[in-house]
Amino acid sequence: MCPFSALTLKKDGEVIELADIQIVKENVVPKLEFEAKKITSYDGIERVVKQYTDGEISIVDEECPGGCQTCYEVCPSGAISVPEKSDKGWETVPNVVVDPEKCISCGSCDNGCPTGAVKLKITDVKTSGEFSELFWEPLLVRLKTLRWSEKEEKEE
Ligand code: SF4
Ligand code: SF4
């Protein structure tokens, strides 16, 4: 489900096509679907990526000390911005802001944030076709929760 198609599956040095894996061929897992999306990172690099999941990003501003900008720099789609601070004492400006329209639910910000202030909740994994509920449902739970902030919450 890498949005950049950067991963190749190999066994004993030989490339394996996903369609040739037995659990895929026998419809134990569904076919993964994606939406092609054109994105632009904060430094202006444009890419067409595959969005396999939908999700909701939330930022707990109180948990963000501000100033590190990791989420802003790792976001491949320019969805995160760091607003200018106001010189008016009565105006509250958040440390970081997310544009949900640009987000591709990749999870980089969630995994990269050192304080756990950014949380991605995967709400849907795009699939089609038949599958074995017994096998796929626990996998789906793992896919939805393999995020740094989710792990932290479970350990608490
Ligand atoms: S999950 Fe985070 S890093 Fe990924 S596109 Fe959305 S806002 Fe950017
Ligand atoms: S990575 Fe986390 S701590 Fe750093 S600016 Fe983003 S939300 Fe704040």
Give mean pLDDT, residues 141-145: 85
In angstroms, rounded to a whole number, what is the distance separating the alpha carbons of residues 78 and 99? Answer: 8
Give the global pTM: 0.86
| Residue 113 alpha carbon to ligand 2 centre in Å | 5
| Residue 84 alpha carbon to ligand 2 centre in Å | 15
Indicate whether 147 pLDDT > 80.
no
Indicate whether 151 pLDDT > 80.
no
Q: What is the CATH topology of the domain spanning 28-155?
A: Alpha-Beta Plaits (3.30.70)
What's the pLDDT at 133? Answer: 96
| Residue 62 alpha carbon to ligand 2 centre in Å | 11
The answer, yes or no, to whether any atom of ligand 1 lies below 6 A from the CB of 3, is no
pLDDT tens-digit profile of 113-122?
999 999 999 9
The model's confidence at residue 149, banded by pLDDT at 50, 70 and 90, is: low
- Could you give the percent of the chain with pLDDT greater than 90? 76
Asked which of 68-77, 88-97, 116-125 is least confident by mean pLDDT, the reply is 88-97
| Residue 149 alpha carbon to ligand 2 centre in Å | 13
- Closest residue by CA, ligand 1 atom 4: 106
The model's confidence at residue 87, banded by pLDDT at 50, 70 and 90, is: confident
**Given the structure tokens 């030989």, which residue do they identify?**
14
Indicate whether 153 pLDDT > 70.
no
The answer, yes or no, to whether any atom of ligand 2 lies below 6 A from the CB of 108, is no
Q: Among 62, 82, 103, 118, which is best to mutate for testing ligand 2, by the most ligand atoms less than 8 A from CB?
A: 118
* List of long-range contacts for 73-76, beta carbons under 8 Å, 24+ apart: 73/42, 74/108, 74/109, 74/112, 75/41, 75/42, 75/108, 75/109, 76/3, 76/4, 76/39, 76/41, 76/47, 76/49, 76/104, 76/106, 76/108
Q: Which ligand is nearest to the CA of 112?
A: 2
